[in-house]
Amino acid sequence: MDQKSFYDLLSRYENGNCTEAEKLWVDKWYHNLNSRNFKDLSSTALEEMQANTWLNINNIERKSTTALKVKRLWPKFAVAAAILVAFFIAGLYLMRYNHAEQSFIDENEGLNLISKTNDTDHSIVIALSDESTATLKPQANIIYPKVFAANKRMVYLKGTAFFSVSKNPKRPFYVYNQKLVVRVLGTSFWVKSSTDKLPAQVAVRTGKVQVEENQKNSLFTFAKEKLAKPILLTPNQKGVFSDHQLNKTLVSRPIPLAEAYNIPTSLSYNFKEESIKEIFKTLSEAYGIEIKSDNEQISTYTFTGDLSKKGLYEQLDLICGTISSKYYIQGTTIVVSNKN
């Protein structure tokens, strides 16, 4: 059985496309495996597990009509089963085992690691030894050293958290999750682990962060050309990971840089017959986001109105409404267009 055929079997099992006999066989194998690491099982143990699996299957076959069909098919799979044993165990182990978390623990061997889960219905703040903080959303979990190592600071996250990291260029700060690695020097940002419905994400509020795919999220080592290319994120930008790709876009609610950094600003959002071109320039400066039009005609329009207490997207909605235009997000740029 070559590796391609092995992956095909795993894919059919996970997608529910295998036969009842194959499914029963795989389920029994995984039940026998329990929580043991297949690497630690001897050949004798594997043979014993195989014998017990087929014994259990035969007992079930005698008790149901569906199982009788499985019994007729059993001889066809008996020979292949012995060959596929190691492959199936490795595959099932791979799909259910969080290798990224174990690699993080191994890399921090010798440090006193603390695991904290937010079991409440509100956010909680975790103070780290370097005066950084992690604000955990409900059900989030963080693993971190009681005292960080001398050369770098590393934490492992499951779920969603907001990090405010103290600056220390000599000790970079890393946030690991099952899919991503986020590297920062001193900044604040959100990290969201992937779920069944949403991909892993990183959103930056202040500073800059580098995001890359966690190469240790699998027992298999992917070739470098198959890994996502690292990206650099700045305030109000978000990185989204999916299918070994990291894409940059904008956060759902951009925050003015002055507010994010808690500094005074002289920018005014109360416009009187101001040209659209100058308004875009003001908003771009305020949010650190490029805002442009796709034709020169839009730049000649003017706008009057007070946008002081509105978010960026609401500001753009009002502006576009008065000039019969619309806007869309293109990567990390906002484009205003009057095309239908």
Q: What is the pLDDT of residue 275?
A: 94
Is the domain defined by 100-250 classed in CATH 2.40.50.140?
no
Which pLDDT belongs to residue 244? Answer: 87
Q: Please, how many CA atoms are within 13 Å of residue 287, restricted to the half-sphere of its CB?
A: 26
Q: Dihedrals φ, ψ of 103, to 5°?
A: -65, -40
Q: What angle do CA 182, 221, 17 make, to 5 degrees?
A: 105
DSSP assignment letter at 252? S
Closest to 218 measured CA to CA, from 102, 74, 59: 102
Average pLDDT value for residue range 64-90: 53
Tokens 């890393």 appear where? Answer: 174
Residue 309 gets which letter from DSSP? T
- According to DSSP, the β-strands at 188-192 and 180-184 are unpaired
pTM: 0.70
Q: What is the mean pLDDT of the chain?
A: 81
- Report strand pairing: 200-206 vs 237-242: antiparallel
Q: What are the boundaries of each domain within the chain?
A: 3-96, 100-250, 257-337
The first and second tokens of residue 144, run together, are 């971190």
Higher pLDDT, 212 or 14: 212
The per-residue pLDDT for range 163-208, each reduced to its tens digit, is: 999 999 899 999 999 999 999 978 999 999 988 778 999 999 999 9
DSSP track, 189-218: EEEE---SSS-EEEEEEES-EEEEE-TTSS
pLDDT at 92: 54
Residue-level pLDDT at 1: 45
Question: What pLDDT is stored for residue 226 in this prediction?
Answer: 74
Q: What is the dotted CATH code of the domain comprising 257-337?
A: 3.55.50.30
Handedness of CA 140, 120, 136, 243 (dihedral sign): positive
